[in-house]
Amino acid sequence: MVRIFVESVHVIFKHLVKVGPSIPVQVFIDKLSNLGFSYTTRKLMVPPLPQPVPQPPSELVEYLFKRPSDATSLIVVSEKGFVVDTRSVQTALDLFWTSHGILRESLKERFKTIVPQMQLLATIQIYSEISPLKIIQDMLTPRLLKKKITMKKVLSP
């Protein structure tokens, strides 16, 4: 039996609106405040997209929500979407579904018109009694590699 210990986890989940209505930030402020979150704001200058006529940068206001009991978890909300940043996979899921539920509830029928860009970044550091190379080699068995090669042959013209 191989013992593996998780040293640290860092999860960032982005849900940004590419096409569709702006995020109703005030609804997030009200709902998350009722759930015990406190917030601060920060302003960022966002460069414009390339256009034939140059445009000045615009200002984006972000709201950073934290629970007093959990200083390592953060929800960042702006009119462009929300980002969950935390040190726990379970907390990341909880905060994502909370934020997603608020967004869905506040936009109602307009929620279906959103085209989001979602991105998940997870960094997990582990300690193991055996080397990571050995773990990877054990996962990539010859049978599995053969399956991948066979699938490539099937898909190629």
The DSSP 8-state label assigned to residue 53 in this structure reads: S
Q: Is 4's pLDDT higher than 90? A: no
Residue 104 pLDDT class (50, 70, 90 cuts): confident
Q: How far apart are the first and last CA of the chain?
A: 44
Instruction: Dump pLDDT digits (tens) for 17-50.
Output: 888 888 889 999 999 999 999 999 999 988 877 7
Tell me if 17 sits within 8 A of 107, measured CB to CB: no
What type of residue sits at position 122? A
Per domain, the residue ranges of the chain are 4-130
Question: 133-148 pLDDT, tens per residue?
Answer: 776 676 666 665 555 4
Q: List, in sequence order, every beta strand (DSSP E) within the chain.
A: 4-19, 38-46, 58-67, 70-78, 81-86, 115-128
**Could you give the CA distance from residue 31 to residue 92 in angstroms, rounded to a whole number?**
18
Confidence of residue 149 (pLDDT cuts 50, 70, 90): very low
Does 50 or 149 have the greater pLDDT score?
Answer: 50
